[in-house]
């Protein structure tokens, strides 16, 4: 079968650990599903507490959305403190600032104590007002940041980029950046040195909580019995609607261009556009550096112009960084946007008390994942946490009611649109090698992909989560669900939940995980 691997990111140079798949039943204090930033941060924190931990992942360490990040470590939250304060009050805003600051500190502490070579670097962060932004936005954000406890944030009249159409900005001190996969490799090694067991190539087929014992059953039929389970799979695979109606999946795009190394201090940059842009520099071999620029977000599976978005992103980058050279990397990732701007970290709604989830990264997966490690360890060990109520997955969407309603109306409209529309191609003959498209065959929608060698693969286009019709992503070579963010590789194998099964054959009856 021809590979349909997604494009590489700069983090692909990390050498993955060769870890076995689970080949027997086992027991542990805690079973963690997912070996990304959330899962391994949680496993590491629990191992430090002396808890026995088993980690399961159906791919490699950091092989999901962690490898698609730009790896900003920041307490300058994407939704802005003006919005966080409006939705959650000053107390909630202070907890957001406190927890993201603690996450950066925890990553730094871990790199030092575990001697992890991951290019961790403290840097300043600069927030710029994009053209057309209300003139008082930065002033209001400065006030909200100060009320959140970030009193060292300051307004600057001169900005460091040198672009003539930028002027004032806010400086957020003591932000950071790192190499995410090298960091996770070091964390995984630290977990195993403390007795933790990590199994890759192991698909968690089902999760069942219980009064005293939870059980995770793998696709191969082996069982992990534990006192608690943490589902850290970017978006939960263990429930149907409890979390998924409260957050929405968005695709975000990244280009990395060569720029001359100037010797100047590194920094992080963000603007206030909608969708906003984010920038960092990274030393990636040779005499030059990489300028990594992201943005151009859209609802996952609901746009087919990835190449145009990457081109606009490159154009934006060159307008701000005129010395930028050739593009070295182009890729995209997916972020989960909670309706009220705050992640969901804690006990899974409607489940047993011993099943926990971490999701809703809101474009800040590296710090939210680390917050999950801290908070979930507190919950599992029975320690009180002042962060828990804010991040509680069971909270009502009172503070994000409008966004909640809008996203769920969007999902309903997508169902109607996709089932009523004709296919993107009238015949498989119109699908070129290396391309995918949706076809209608009677009442059935078909997801068809042709390998570069000409071999055609046909699948049911119905997402096994709730039946939405998937859409082909030509950049990542994946089938993406436009409703709740499930992703499948070009041959239909599930790679991102909430779906936990592959796309079915075209002749199979349509069944969902409900």
**What CATH number does residue 222 fall under?**
3.50.50.60
Residue 99 domain-assigned? no
Predicted pLDDT of residue 514: 52
Selected residue with higher pLDDT from 44 and 324: 44
Q: Indicate the number of domains in the chain.
A: 3
Are 428 and 451 contained in the same domain?
Answer: yes
Mean pLDDT lowest for which of 92-96, 109-113, 468-472, 507-511? 507-511
Residues 271 and 126: their CA atoms lie apart, in Å, by 8
pLDDT at residue 96 tops 90? yes
Residue 5 domain-assigned? no
pLDDT at residue 2 tops 60? no
Predicted pLDDT of residue 510: 56
Selected residue with higher pLDDT from 131 and 486: 486
Predicted pLDDT of residue 158: 66
Residue 414 domain-assigned? no
Are 151 and 252 contained in the same domain?
Answer: yes
Are 331 and 207 contained in the same domain?
Answer: no
Give the model confidence (pLDDT) of 219-259 as tens digits: 999 999 999 999 999 988 887 677 888 899 999 999 999 99
Predicted pLDDT of residue 13: 83
Are 273 and 167 contained in the same domain?
Answer: yes
Residue 103 domain-assigned? no
Q: In which domain, by residue range, is 462 found?
A: 421-496
> Which DSSP string do the residues of 409-470 spell out, in sequence order?
HHHHHHHHHHHHSPPS-SSGGG--TT-EEEEEETTEEEEEEE-TTS-EEEEE-B-TTT-PBP
CATH of the domain at 138: 3.30.9.10
Are 165 and 203 contained in the same domain?
Answer: no
Selected residue with higher pLDDT from 442 and 281: 281
Residues 314 and 380: their CA atoms lie apart, in Å, by 45
Predicted pLDDT of residue 285: 72
Give start and end residues of each alpha helix (H) in 163-250.
180-193
Are 250 and 322 contained in the same domain?
Answer: yes
Give the model confidence (pLDDT) of 58-86 as tens digits: 999 998 889 999 999 999 999 899 999 99
Predicted pLDDT of residue 497: 87
Are 190 and 314 contained in the same domain?
Answer: no
pLDDT at residue 11 tops 50? yes
Residue 61 domain-assigned? yes
pLDDT at residue 459 tops 60? yes
Predicted pLDDT of residue 233: 94
Give the DSSP letter of residue 160.
Answer: S
Predicted pLDDT of residue 50: 97
Q: In which band, very low, low, confident or very high, does the pLDDT at 288 lie, cut at 50, 70 and 90?
A: confident
CB distance 159 to 103 below 8 Å: no
Are 446 and 380 contained in the same domain?
Answer: no
Mean pLDDT of 107-123: 97
Mean pLDDT of 166-192: 93
Mean pLDDT lowest for which of 37-51, 83-97, 400-414, 467-481? 400-414
Predicted pLDDT of residue 171: 94
Asked which of 288, 321, 337 is the last residue of a domain, the reply is: 337
Q: In which band, very low, low, confident or very high, does the pLDDT at 501 lie, cut at 50, 70 and 90?
A: very high
Mean pLDDT lowest for which of 284-293, 349-358, 421-430, 436-445? 421-430
Residue among 95, 77, 137 at smallest CA distance from 338: 77
Are 311 and 348 contained in the same domain?
Answer: no
Mean pLDDT of 265-294: 88
CATH of the domain at 432: 2.102.10.10
pLDDT at residue 30 tops 70? yes
Residue among 463, 436, 464, 493 at smallest CA distance from 306: 436
Q: In which band, very low, low, confident or very high, does the pLDDT at 443 lie, cut at 50, 70 and 90?
A: confident
Predicted pLDDT of residue 165: 45
Are 277 and 174 contained in the same domain?
Answer: yes
Are 77 and 147 contained in the same domain?
Answer: yes
Predicted pLDDT of residue 419: 56
Q: Record the tokens describing residue 212, joined without a space.
A: 């005293």
In the chain, the percentage of residues whose pLDDT exceeds 90 is 66
Residue 210 domain-assigned? yes
Are 229 and 269 contained in the same domain?
Answer: no
Q: In which band, very low, low, confident or very high, does the pLDDT at 412 lie, cut at 50, 70 and 90?
A: low
């Amino acid at each position: 079968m021809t590979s349909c691997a997604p494009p590489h990111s700069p983090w692909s140079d990390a050498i993955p650990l060769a870890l076995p798949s689970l080949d027997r039943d086992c027991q542990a204090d805690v079973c963690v599903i997912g070996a990304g930033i959330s899962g391994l941060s949680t496993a590491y924190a629990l191992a430090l507490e002396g808890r026995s931990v088993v980690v399961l992942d159906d791919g490699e360490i950091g092989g999901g959305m962690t490898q698609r990040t730009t790896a900003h470590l920041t307490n300058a939250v994407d939704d802005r403190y003006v919005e966080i304060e409006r939705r959650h009050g000053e107390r909630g805003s202070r907890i957001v600032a406190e927890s993201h600051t603690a996450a950066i500190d925890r990553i730094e502490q871990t790199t030092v104590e575990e001697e992890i070579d991951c290019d961790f670097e403290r840097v300043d962060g600069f927030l710029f007002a994009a053209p057309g932004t209300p003139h008082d936005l930065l002033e209001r954000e400065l006030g909200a940041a100060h009320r959140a406890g970030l009193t060292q944030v300051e307004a600057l009249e001169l900005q460091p980029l040198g672009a003539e159409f930028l002027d004032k900005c806010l400086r957020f001190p003591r932000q950071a950046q790192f190499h995410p996969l090298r960091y996770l490799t070091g964390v995984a090694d630290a977990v195993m040195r403390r007795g933790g067991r990590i199994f890759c190539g192991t698909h968690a087929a089902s999760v069942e909580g219980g009064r005293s014992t939870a059980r995770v059953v793998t696709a191969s039929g082996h069982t992990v019995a534990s006192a608690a389970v943490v589902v850290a799979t970017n978006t939960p695979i263990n429930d149907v609607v409890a979390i998924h109606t409260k957050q929405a999946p968005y695709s975000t795009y990244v280009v990395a261009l060569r720029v001359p190394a100037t010797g100047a201090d590194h920094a992080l940059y963000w603007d206030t556009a909608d969708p906003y842009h984010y920038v960092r520099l990274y030393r990636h071999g040779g005499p030059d550096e990489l300028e990594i620029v992201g943005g151009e977000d859209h609802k996952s599976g609901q746009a087919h112009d990835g190449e145009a978005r990457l081109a606009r992103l490159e154009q934006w980058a060159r307008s701000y960084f005129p010395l930028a050279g050739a593009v070295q990397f182009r890729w995209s990732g997916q972020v989960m946007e909670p309706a009220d701007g705050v992640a969901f970290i804690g006990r899974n709604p409607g489940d047993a008390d011993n099943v926990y989830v971490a999701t809703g990264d809101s474009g800040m997966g590296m710090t939210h994942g680390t917050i999950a490690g801290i908070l979930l360890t507190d919950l599992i060990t029975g320690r009180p946490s002042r962060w828990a109520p804010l991040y509680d997955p069971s909270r009502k969407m009172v503070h994000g009611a409008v966004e909640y309603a809008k996203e769920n109306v969007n999902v309903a409209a997508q169902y109607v649109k996709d089932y009523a529309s004709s296919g993107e191609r009238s015949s498989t003959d119109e699908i070129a090698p290396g391309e995918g498209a949706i076809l209608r065959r009677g009442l059935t929608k078909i997801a068809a992909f042709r390998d570069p060698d000409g071999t055609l693969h046909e699948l049911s286009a119905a997402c096994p989560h709730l039946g939405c019709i998937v859409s082909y992503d030509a950049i990542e070579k994946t089938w993406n669900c436009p409703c709740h963010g499930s992703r499948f590789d070009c041959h239909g194998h599930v790679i991102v939940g909430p779906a936990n099964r592959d796309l079915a054959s075209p002749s199979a009856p349509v069944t969902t995980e409900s």
